Structure 1
Amino acid sequence: MNKFAPLSDFQRPTDGQYQLAFFRFSALEGDRYVLTNQAGEYLVLPRAVLSALIRHELPSDHPYYSRLRSRQFLFDTSSKLGKALLANKVRTKTKRLENFTSLHIMVVSLRCEHSCPYCQVSRQSEDRNAFDMSTETAEKTLSLIFRSPSPAIKIEFQGGEPLLNFDLIRYVVVRAEQMNLSAGRNLQFVITTNLAVVNDDILEFCRLHSILISTSLDGPASLHNANRPRPGKNSYELAVAGIEKARAVLGAERVSALMTTTKASLSMGREIIDEYVRLGFPGIFLRPLSPYGFAIKTKSYTSYDVERWLEFYLDGLNYIIELNDNGIRFRELYASTVLTKMLTPFEPGYVDLMSPAGIGISAVVYNYDGEIYASDEARMLAEMGDKTFRIGNVHKNTYEEIFSSDALLDPIEQSFAGSAPMCSDCAFEPFCGAEPVFHTATQHDFVGLKTRSAFCTRNMRIFKTLISLMEESPKVRELFMQWAN
């Protein structure tokens, strides 16, 4: 018995016939199937049409034929530019790879005056100066950062609470700007802060140097204060006051917020969204807990399963669509990222949804002690004692040693979704990512068994939901096109 059909079954470019391009397909509800090609173009077909297509029995006057040809699912004698166009789309999707690392995260301190039970970082108490990055380490870090070939460099300051070591932030910003006079990069700075210790001097420095602020806001006061305890029990009040103060100095568009879903959040999805709308944010990232740091030690990560989070997420997504129907412009930011991959020729560069994996390629983390990790999640995993994704040290290794290390290249190669079991033949592979850090944390393997992967379960449901919503409502598709662009 022959294992493969003869080559002639796949090549029929003669008049009146067509040649199939490479594509994958997966079942949706009913008798519908979604097809995706190598460039991430997708179409939804009835089963009968898919069957006729595969059997080379779909007539050229069929309503789906021209759609399949225009999106390079098939080629015929009139498709003179089809293959070249498909190749160009694939090149556009993968162009980010040649720029290499653009996001450089500097952990300037592990100190923090909050004690959040879900924190993914092994934070230290506020008076532990031994956990601050030194000027020497910062200098070494900047030297490596400017070795990146990327035309755009974003330096993000994280903690702990990075403002507790603001003197170093000030030093790094000024020094990086000096270095950039000759490097000529598109240079940007972000401070990820809870805003509890922000003051006028810090904000004025941020204004002068065009620094963006990213803060945490878990929802209304009762929820935020419960999720993010601090002395004085006033985390929410300080966060909202800090947001208003930062907007007044920097401008509203330069201040963003991020929430984390705890067990207490699950019944308050619409209230959380309302809080973001009330405070004038343009969107919200409804993100689940990650399996790292204190979130594991305090069992916060296991306090709800992926199905319960999906109920929370999908209800929130539907509510946001309702808000837009009522004239309130507001986005769900994870859906927007996925839709960019689905509906445009561009790769948004979100680390979790990249294949090859975005670790090291899209983002890298320089810890306070000089250790370098392939991603923020890799640093969090290291704080739990697993240094699988430690790729070097700013004091000991060269740029070439760091970014060609086995600790970086092995997980990228092994987890590549295009060849990973159950990913390589999945229709949603062009929209998804390889997440070796997550699967190492949850299954002790770079690839992981996808049937047991919360990452896979979560994304599959979201991908199918977004496609179904667009198929069922032209109005929703128009809204999603706006989000994607």
Structure 2
Amino acid sequence: MQRKSCQVMIKPTGSVCNLDCKYCFYLEKEMLYPDRKNHYKMTEETLALFVQQHIAAQDVDEVIFAWQGGEPTLMGLPFYRQAVALQQRYANGKAIVNTFQTNGILIDDEWARFFRAHDFLVGISIDGDAALHDEWRVTRAGQPTHHKVEQAIKCLASHGVEFNTLTVVSQSNMLHPQRVYAYLKSIGSRYMQFIPLVERAANKDGMLAHPQDEQTAVTPWSVDGLQFGKFLNAIFDI
């Protein structure tokens, strides 16, 4: 009989983020929560219950916790120290694996030491070199972020933290697959993930339409299946 497990993506900050990426659909989700600084974050009580129940529900020897967002670093290090302590308390002989997807903006030596000490696998969101990345991934004040992401990657590498990269493929970097690949390789990425940008255009309320709304056209910055396929083929041909 096959042993059962389930994969859970944990978003302790909900949609709250410290960036304002132009293509991010979460920006509209935040409009639903105007008091985002004071609400919609996972409480310590919920964290404790979740960790205990998630481990107990897994009929396998290895349990994965995939931390995402919004931006998960906004919870602060004490939250994740507590999470690790709870994992150790309730592990009951099971191996615990933590993955962590971040924009990298808040990563410093303290974060890197924590990730290294507890063997976190860190995913860094980066869309290529500065010109390609900063066209879309900006701060809430509209300022570029690439230099901070590069600093985060160097910090992780200096502490021996295993990391991979997550790149959104848009109409901009889609035209430069070799350039994107060469850059990611140059910063030490050994595992690269590419996801196509596909968003529906705004509806009458100014909100992005639901992905399943086939009556609404996709945005001009989205890529179609053929374009994404050509992007990947060009990289595999290198």
* TM-score range normalised by the length of the shorter chain: 0.7 to 0.9
Task: Could you list the structure 1 runs, at least 4 aligned residues long, displaced by more than 6 angstroms after superposition.
Answer: 124-127
- Is 2:18 the partner of 1:109? no
Paired position in structure 1 for 2:111: 202
- Choose the corresponding residue for 2:156, options 246, 250, 266: 246
Give the conservation status (yes or no) of the 8 Å contact 2:123–2:164.
yes
Paired position in structure 2 for 1:284: 192
In 2 relative to 1, CA 171–240 (structure 1 residues): closer, same or farther, beyond 3 Å? same
SS of residue in 2 equivalent to 1:130: coil
Give the Cα separation in 2 of the matches to 1:301 and 1:245. 38
- Is 2:31 the partner of 1:100? no
TM-score, scaled to structure 2: 0.80
| 1:291 Cα deviation after fit | 5.0
Structure number with higher helix proportion: 1
Give the Cα separation in 2 of the matches to 1:126 and 1:194. 22
SS of residue in 2 equivalent to 1:133: coil
CA-to-aligned-CA distance 1:50-92 (integer Å, 9 cap, x gap): xxxxxxxxxxxxxxxxxxxxxxxxxxxxxxxxxxxxxxxxxxx
| 1:118 Cα deviation after fit | 2.0
Give the Cα separation in 1 of the matches to 2:80 and 2:167. 24
Cα RMSD between the aligned structures?
2.8
Give the conservation status (yes or no) of the 8 Å contact 1:161–1:193.
yes
Paired position in structure 2 for 1:154: 64
In 2 relative to 1, CA 107–283 (structure 1 residues): closer, same or farther, beyond 3 Å? closer
Give the conservation status (yes or no) of the 8 Å contact 1:219–1:272.
yes
Give the conservation status (yes or no) of the 8 Å contact 1:118–1:301.
no
In 2 relative to 1, CA 256–140 (structure 1 residues): closer, same or farther, beyond 3 Å? same
Give the Cα separation in 2 of the matches to 1:118 and 1:142. 32
TM-score, scaled to structure 1: 0.42
Larger RCO of the pair (alpha carbons < 8 Å, separation 6+): 2
| 1:114 Cα deviation after fit | 0.3
Amino acid at match of 2:164: S
- Aligned counterparts, 1:248-263, within 5 A: 248-251=158-161, 254-263=162-171
SS of residue in 2 equivalent to 1:150: coil
Give the Cα separation in 2 of the matches to 1:232 and 1:128. 20
Paired position in structure 2 for 1:177: 88
- Is 2:220 the partner of 1:303? yes
Amino acid at match of 1:178: R
Give the Cα separation in 1 of the matches to 2:134 and 2:208. 17
Give the Cα separation in 2 of the matches to 1:171 and 1:106. 15
Give the conservation status (yes or no) of the 8 Å contact 2:126–2:149.
yes
How many pairs were matched up?
Answer: 220
Give the Cα separation in 2 of the matches to 1:281 and 1:176. 28
Paired position in structure 2 for 1:389: none
Amino acid at match of 1:303: P
In 2 relative to 1, CA 174–290 (structure 1 residues): closer, same or farther, beyond 3 Å? farther
SS of residue in 1 equivalent to 2:154: helix
| 1:255 Cα deviation after fit | 0.7
In 2 relative to 1, CA 173–126 (structure 1 residues): closer, same or farther, beyond 3 Å? farther
SS of residue in 1 equivalent to 2:67: strand
In 2 relative to 1, CA 116–126 (structure 1 residues): closer, same or farther, beyond 3 Å? farther
- Is 2:147 the partner of 1:237? yes
Give the conservation status (yes or no) of the 8 Å contact 1:112–1:126.
no
SS of residue in 2 equivalent to 1:303: coil
| 1:151 Cα deviation after fit | 1.8
Paired position in structure 2 for 1:268: 176
Give the conservation status (yes or no) of the 8 Å contact 2:164–2:192.
no
Give the Cα separation in 2 of the matches to 1:305 and 1:217. 17
SS of residue in 2 equivalent to 1:240: helix
Amino acid at match of 2:58: S
Give the Cα separation in 2 of the matches to 1:282 and 1:320. 14
Paired position in structure 1 for 2:236: 320
Give the Cα separation in 2 of the matches to 1:263 and 1:187. 38
Give the Cα separation in 1 of the matches to 2:59 and 2:144. 44
CA-to-aligned-CA distance 1:411-455 (integer Å, 9 cap, x gap): xxxxxxxxxxxxxxxxxxxxxxxxxxxxxxxxxxxxxxxxxxxxx
Amino acid at match of 2:21: C
Amino acid at match of 1:173: V
| 1:238 Cα deviation after fit | 0.7
| 1:315 Cα deviation after fit | 4.3
Paired position in structure 2 for 1:434: none
Which of the pair has more CA radius of gyration? 1
SS of residue in 2 equivalent to 1:175: helix
SS of residue in 2 equivalent to 1:259: strand
In 2 relative to 1, CA 162–283 (structure 1 residues): closer, same or farther, beyond 3 Å? closer
In the alignment, structure 1 segments of 5+ residues that lack a partner are 1-94, 324-485
- Is 2:52 the partner of 1:143? yes
| 1:304 Cα deviation after fit | 5.7
Give the conservation status (yes or no) of the 8 Å contact 2:198–2:222.
no
| 1:298 Cα deviation after fit | 5.0
In 2 relative to 1, CA 319–204 (structure 1 residues): closer, same or farther, beyond 3 Å? closer
- Is 2:123 the partner of 1:214? yes
